[in-house]
């Protein structure tokens, strides 16, 4: 795991409503399984493979023509830091699913560099998840998952996969990278689902 500067230490959690075991940070810590992947927008693409095996792919230019949203959300890392009121720009997955027939209940998220994470479809629809490409009004840097990352702020932040490249769907829940290495399969910060047995 790589940790870079940005961690500012503990703050008084009594001043705000935080999930159990979390503390505030004013920085934006960078944690990843290896070095940042820097996929240029000229070759970046995002694909969704439907239940029937039909794949729909968007280039960066095609993605940037889709309707966007400005999202304000609190984010919570499994390593116990929280950052409140973060602002992002991105495309709702609901927009992308309009062009893809998906009936299976689970998704496996893939990233450039080989990272994967799993999520129920219910956590990717209904205005709960986005492909985010800006943070705080600026293009998302590679260290924070740029040019685009998944944003699923209601779950621990490892579920918001950096350098996202696509989704596929399954009838059963298939663990991703961290889920196979001892992290909780779902990752609800309010239920403190950090590890497999939590």
Let me know if residue 40 belongs to a domain. Answer: no
Q: Tens digit of pLDDT for each residue in 3-27?
A: 333 334 444 444 578 999 999 998 8
Let me know if residue 95 belongs to a domain. Answer: yes
Which domain covers residue 168, as residue numbers?
Answer: 46-191
For residue 15, the model assigns a pLDDT of 55
Flag whether pLDDT at 118 surpasses 70.
yes
Q: Phi then psi for 120, rounded to 5 degrees?
A: -70, 145
Let me know if residue 175 belongs to a domain. Answer: yes
Q: Tens digit of pLDDT for each residue in 33-84?
A: 667 788 999 999 999 998 888 899 999 999 999 999 999 999 999 999 999 9
For residue 198, the model assigns a pLDDT of 81
Flag whether pLDDT at 160 surpasses 60.
yes
For residue 35, the model assigns a pLDDT of 73
Alpha helices in 36-192 (DSSP H): 60-64, 93-97, 177-180
Indicate which CATH number applies to the domain containing 89. 3.90.420.10
For residue 33, the model assigns a pLDDT of 66
Q: Buried b vs exposed e over 117-127: b needs ≥16 C-beta within 10 Å? A: bbbebebbeee
What is the Cα Rg of the chain in Å?
Answer: 16
Q: Are 3 and 29 in contact (CB under 8 A)?
A: yes
For residue 99, the model assigns a pLDDT of 83
Cα–Cα distance for residue pair 68/26, rounded to 1 Å: 27
Let me know if residue 72 belongs to a domain. Answer: yes
For residue 26, the model assigns a pLDDT of 85
For residue 36, the model assigns a pLDDT of 78
Q: What share of the chain in percent tops pLDDT 70? A: 90
Let me know if residue 169 belongs to a domain. Answer: yes
Q: Are 51 and 102 in contact (CB under 8 A)?
A: yes
Cα–Cα distance for residue pair 29/55, rounded to 1 Å: 34
Q: Tens digit of pLDDT for each residue in 77-114?
A: 999 999 999 999 999 999 999 989 888 999 999 999 99
Let me know if residue 15 belongs to a domain. Answer: no
Report the run of H or E that residue 23 belongs to, with start and end: strand 23-24
For residue 52, the model assigns a pLDDT of 83
The C-alpha angle with vertex 127 and arms to 32 and 44, in degrees rounded to 5, equals 45
Flag whether pLDDT at 158 surpasses 60.
yes
Let me know if residue 81 belongs to a domain. Answer: yes
164 or 197: which leads in pLDDT: 164
For residue 11, the model assigns a pLDDT of 45
Q: What share of the chain in percent tops pLDDT 90? A: 79
Instruction: Count structural domains, the chain.
Output: 1
Let me know if residue 36 belongs to a domain. Answer: no
């Amino acid at each position: 795991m790589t940790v870079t500067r940005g961690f500012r230490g503990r703050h008084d959690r009594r001043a705000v409503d935080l999930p159990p075991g979390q503390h505030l940070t004013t920085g934006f810590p960078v944690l990843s399984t290896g070095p940042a992947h820097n996929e240029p927008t000229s070759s970046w693409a995002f694909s969704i493979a439907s239940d029937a095996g039909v794949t729909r792919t968007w280039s960066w230019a095609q993605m940037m023509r889709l309707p966007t949203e400005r999202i304000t959300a609190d984010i919570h890392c499994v390593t116990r830091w929280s950052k409140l009121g973060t602002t992002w720009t991105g495309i709702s997955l609901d927009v992308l699913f309009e062009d893809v027939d998906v009936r299976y209940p689970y998704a496996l998220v893939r990233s450039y560099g080989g990272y994967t994470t799993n999520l129920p479809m219910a956590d990717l629809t209904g205005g709960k998840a986005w492909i985010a490409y800006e943070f705080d009004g600026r293009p998302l840097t590679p260290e924070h998952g740029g040019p685009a990352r998944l944003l699923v702020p209601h779950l621990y932040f490892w579920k918001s996969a950096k350098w996202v490249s696509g989704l596929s769907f399954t009838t059963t829940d298939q663990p991703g990278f961290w889920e196979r290495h001892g992290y909780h399969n779902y990752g609800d910060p309010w239920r403190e689902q950090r590890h497999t047995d939590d």
